[in-house]
Amino acid sequence: MRAPPFRPGALQPFVKLLAGFATTPTSTVTTASTYGANADTTRTLIIYQDYGWKTWRPLFGIGAGVNTQAFSGIQVVLDVRETFIAQSIVMGPTTTQNQEPPHRSVIKGIPAVRVGLELVLKREHGKRY
């Protein structure tokens, strides 16, 4: 049997680097207005259109935190992270409706704080879980 790297209750600091893809279901450039009194008369007016929209966007992030064993098999986690994703922003108006406005991509940061409980599964030879 191996000794745990930290004694129970000790704080274990960590750093995370994140990379992946995010899906954004609608364009941040396309602007539409829906009007009408009921379902029979509802109309949608496209104000700005984004003809080059891509659903998949790359994302990158960095985070740091600490965890500690609260009970046998349960640990408490506190981490702070910043996730960066590319988003399109409109730079100005168009002369008529339903045109693609001038826009560009910018990197936006999304901060997050997480406090949670995690279940830690232990591997033991000959046992399934």
- For residue range 83-125, what is the model confidence (pLDDT) as tens digits? 999 888 888 887 777 777 888 888 999 999 999 998 887 767 6
- Cβ–Cβ < 8 Å for 90, 103: yes
Question: Distance from first CA to last CA of the chain, Å, rounded?
Answer: 19
The 10s digit of each residue's pLDDT in 64-82 is: 999 888 877 788 999 999 9
Q: What residue ranges do the domains of the chain occupy?
A: 12-26+54-119
The amino acid sitting at 106 is V
Two structure tokens written together for 122: 């232990």
